[in-house]
Structure 1
Amino acid sequence: MTERETVATAPGKPAETAAIDRRLVPPMVLGSVLNPINSTIIAVALVPIGAALGASPAQTAWLVSALYLATALGQPVVGRLIDLFGPRRLFLASTSLVGVAGVVGTLAPDLGTLIAARVVLGFGTCAGYPAAMALLRAEARRTGQGSPAGVLTLLAVANQTVAVIGPLLGGLLTGLGGWRSTFALNIPLSLLAVTLGALRLPKQLPKQLPEDLSKDLSKDLPKQEKQERSSDAPGPLHRIDLPGMALFAALLLSLLLFLMHPHADRWYLPPLTLAAAVAFTVRERRAAHPFIDVKVLGGNTPLLATYARALAAYVVAYAFLYGFAQWTEEGFGLSPLQAGLVQAPTFLVGIGVSVLAGRRGGIRAMLLTGAVGQIAACLLMLALGGHSPLWELLVLAVVFGIPQGANGLALQNSVFLQSDPARTGSSAGLLRTFAYLGSMVAAAATAAAYGPHAGTAGMHQLAWIMLAAAVLFLLLTVFDRTLRGLRTPPASAR
């Protein structure tokens, strides 16, 4: 009998002493970091890839955009399927695609094939994070923990740790085996994820709460979730909103394609985005089982504000990750490995900030700390130049670590507390979608600022764009009154 079964069935055992099933933690953590590790590992490989394949920074930016385009489309869709079918099957299918993408990328003969591999990789990493959040929701209910703060903090710290390893590992692999080795790494990662998922993820999430908890919590369940738990509710297949998913894909694809290259010759994309948005809203308001319940989402202003903050925060974060990394190589003259080492303090500090913030539990304080840290870092970027001493770059990396650790944890915990429990997977997927929208804006800003060469003048232009996004993030936080009472129990209390 597993720890999970022992806790759930032990006669007379108080529900509040139940513990999260530790067997679920390794696949949850590994699945959730597959996307971040592929985000960070390629940051220092873009210049070598461009040199090997004869591509400019604007062209290699597609390697970044392709991953996030696919994932931004796929995360909410896969998240909704996880809500309906459970995490196991979606997790196994998606993580298998990660291995396929690794093989294609390792053998890619040209930039087009490499971009295709990144698209497959994006879809392959879609299930990890929504699956982890859905599993945590189920475990929180089973154990009586409204918010498993310890595991939520662990997920954030794991992402920070991977972000530390990513640039360093990318530089090391590029130096030892060439940039292709950064794609080959996905093959063993995929095998490990599929193995852990097959061995440890439950075939079905429990449909019933423990008897002593169900009476207390059933009154708090949303109406739609009560209907979906009832015996006469339609099966999962009948609740798949394919038209809604298709319209959402058209909306997001047209928007992202314009954000990646906002030029006059693409004038038709914004009207197409608007038309798809109107059609999507009409469809979802009328659907019996909508893909995204716009009625509930539209009435959940705190969650919408969280998504807006995520968009602004990740414009800054990804512009620094990719744009600043390119400048350190081309504008400052560092090697890929050295560029990775310069960024390491950002993520090391981020780990420490996440751990400290997780122990305190205050979400508004985390967001304000992140906002101030972003603004300070952008101002420091504006003071850098090609002849700046190396220690100034390291100071900048340290300062950027503060928002790196505070914002990610605060946004993740906000979504867990603010979202409809019946749609935890799709809500978590939407958080990543807004983060990827931010990455697309960052990629477009980076390409526009640099052009054919990542010089100091372009880096300063990028810093001004980042500063505007950081100020917007601060305003969205300061004027959101709902954050005052929002907090997770301190992780140490668990």
Structure 2
Amino acid sequence: MSVLVKDSAGARQSRRIPIRVSGSVAAGSILQPLNSSMIAIAIVGIAAQFGSSSGIAWVISGLYIATAVAAPMAGRLGTLLGARRVYLGGLAIVSLGSIVGILAPTVGWLIFARVLIGIGTATQYPNAMTMIRGYAERHRAQPRSAITTLTVCSQATVSLGPTLGGLLVGAFGWHSIMWINLPVAALSAILVTRFARVGPARGTPVGHRQLLRKLDVVGALLLLVLISSTMLFLLSLTNDPTWWLIPLWMIALAAFVRRERRAEEPFIDVRALTRNRALSATLARTLLTYSAFYCVYFGVPQWLQYSRGMSATQAGLTMLPVAAVGALTTLIASRTYARHGARRTLAVGTGALLVGGLLLASVESSTAPILVLLMVAVVLGIPNGFNNIGNQNLVSSVTSLEEVGTAIGMYRTVQYIGANFAAVVLATTSGHVIGDDGLHRTGWFIAVVGTVLLVGVLISRNMGDRRRAHAR
């Protein structure tokens, strides 16, 4: 057995997944991060058109709730029906949601459009990861470089969203963040159809009843109730807390765990999650990371517009260093992970998050020169690449090919629970007026999260060399 593992590892080190394959499956994955972060710039114009009603908050949260629920289902569907087939179906849903958003006459229709986009964009990442892992298994190639490409497209581009959104909104209005999805989805569909023939297009043939059983629809519905009640409660904390959701959440959690422990084909294998401490720790770390992450990408652009009086275009350009540094550090982090493993990679990422939080907490941002703000933005771009590469490679290395799609779906789920938690944090730290004091409090929150994550990474026992070798 040890000889086989050694031979396989040597073969993987000598062969990489072609860029035509990794690039094609990664292309569509930029849709989710762009749609999640461009809204930070566009929301000011949306509120101006539809009014600053409570429904505006759901324009942001609707996408996150839909993505959080749909991501595990998308990974599971990809395993059953074929990853490429589900991937392309998601692109069609994104296109439909974008058209609805462009034509939306009311904020309710706009929320519906964002939900459709959230469902559609949930399919790309887990199924791209499944296709990458499938190719690596069949051709004995190392998946690390392909995961880096996927990470740059699906995660580092989050920080590009405010810049691109600022340029689009400044030139064409907020509707432009909807129609930009159409050419991206079309191009991605062409590339995946042409180059990503990396496995069976239709998955394993199953009948309708067998499909429902394998999908564990009851477990999926319980997960929907669990995630929705969690997010609804978090969103209510800043106004009138809906305390009655707590017992509903507890009942849903107990029912979900009971169901998944007994299900023949569980939607989320709770028993495996309990046994796989490395995966559980990675998901918990991801939740905290993205809570801080979205505080930056939601909070800073809005502060630049409201407090500094910048236009959408100016605010977006000020965030550009975050995007540029995030993309660069993703490439550096990939090499760091290959040479030194997850612990050092994540230590750099969490340490930079701590430093970035301290800078936000101390800079006198209303009077600081723009050069100072750009330097802070540079520091805030560093955590993105290192944390994403470290956590995503850990998820890939501690799960099997059959499990990775669902595991990555769960990774996305906790990511967007973190996004909603960030919205609550910003509403709490900013108060009724967006100003320096609120930005400083947000910075202290990010610094505390960075400290907790850094300590956790340094003392963790779930980042050994065995997993690093497997990831290669």
Tell whether 2:57 aligns with 1:82.
Answer: no
1:399 equivalent among 379, 391, 400 = 379
Pairs within 5 Å for 1:249-260: 249-260=224-235
Amino acid at match of 1:33: I
On the 8 A contact 1:64/1:443 being kept in 2, the answer is no
Aligned to 1:46: 43
On the 8 A contact 2:23/2:150 being kept in 1, the answer is no
Amino acid at match of 2:345: M
Aligned to 2:450: 470
On the 8 A contact 2:23/2:149 being kept in 1, the answer is no
Structure 1 residues not aligned, in runs of 5+ = 1-13, 209-227
Aligned to 2:288: 312
On the 8 A contact 2:223/2:256 being kept in 1, the answer is yes
More off after superposition, 113-122 vs 462-471: 462-471
On the 8 A contact 1:359/1:490 being kept in 2, the answer is no
Alpha-carbon separation, structure 2, partners of 1:427 and 1:101: 26
Task: Please state how far the C-alpha of 1:332 moved relative to its aligned partner.
Answer: 1.5
TM-score normalised by L of structure 1: 0.86
**What's the CA shift string for 1:204-251, capped at 9, x where partnerless?**
53999xxxxxxxxxxxxxxxxxxx99x9xx965542211111111111
On the 8 A contact 2:64/2:420 being kept in 1, the answer is yes
Aligned to 1:168: 163
Aligned to 2:17: 20
More off after superposition, 471-480 vs 266-275: 471-480
Tell whether 2:324 aligns with 1:348.
Answer: yes
1:72 equivalent among 47, 68, 71 = 68
> Are the structure 2 counterparts of residues 296 and 461 from structure 1 closer, same or farther at C-alpha, using a change threshold of 3 Å?
same
Alpha-carbon separation, structure 2, partners of 1:283 and 1:160: 33
Q: What RMSD over aligned residues (CA atoms) do the two structures have, in Å?
A: 2.6
Secondary structure of the residue aligned to 1:28 is: helix
Pairs within 5 Å for 1:254-333: 254-262=229-237, 265-333=241-309
Alpha-carbon separation, structure 1, partners of 2:15 and 2:330: 25
On the 8 A contact 1:347/1:404 being kept in 2, the answer is no
Tell whether 2:442 aligns with 1:446.
Answer: no
> Are the structure 2 counterparts of residues 378 and 277 from structure 1 closer, same or farther at C-alpha, using a change threshold of 3 Å?
same
Aligned to 2:8: none
Alpha-carbon separation, structure 2, partners of 1:106 and 1:70: 19
Task: Please state how far the C-alpha of 1:18 moved relative to its aligned partner.
Answer: 5.7
**What's the CA shift string for 1:274-318, capped at 9, x where partnerless?**
111111111111111111111111111111000011001101110
Aligned to 2:353: 374
Aligned length: 455
Tell whether 2:423 aligns with 1:427.
Answer: no
Tell whether 2:336 aligns with 1:339.
Answer: no
Secondary structure of the residue aligned to 2:425 is: helix
Amino acid at match of 2:66: A
> Are the structure 2 counterparts of residues 19 and 372 from structure 1 closer, same or farther at C-alpha, using a change threshold of 3 Å?
closer
Alpha-carbon separation, structure 2, partners of 1:352 and 1:241: 41
On the 8 A contact 2:326/2:384 being kept in 1, the answer is yes
> Are the structure 2 counterparts of residues 366 and 112 from structure 1 closer, same or farther at C-alpha, using a change threshold of 3 Å?
same
Tell whether 2:132 aligns with 1:132.
Answer: no
Task: Please state how far the C-alpha of 1:16 moved relative to its aligned partner.
Answer: 7.6
Alpha-carbon separation, structure 1, partners of 2:139 and 2:211: 26
Task: Please state how far the C-alpha of 1:45 moved relative to its aligned partner.
Answer: 1.5
Secondary structure of the residue aligned to 1:461 is: helix
Task: Please state how far the C-alpha of 1:79 moved relative to its aligned partner.
Answer: 0.8
On the 8 A contact 2:94/2:185 being kept in 1, the answer is yes
Alpha-carbon separation, structure 2, partners of 1:404 and 1:364: 15
> Are the structure 2 counterparts of residues 153 and 204 from structure 1 closer, same or farther at C-alpha, using a change threshold of 3 Å?
closer
TM-score normalised by L of structure 2: 0.90
Aligned to 1:224: none
> Are the structure 2 counterparts of residues 201 and 48 from structure 1 closer, same or farther at C-alpha, using a change threshold of 3 Å?
same
> Are the structure 2 counterparts of residues 446 and 38 from structure 1 closer, same or farther at C-alpha, using a change threshold of 3 Å?
same
Pairs within 5 Å for 1:82-101: 82-101=78-97
More off after superposition, 80-89 vs 392-401: 80-89
On the 8 A contact 2:55/2:108 being kept in 1, the answer is no
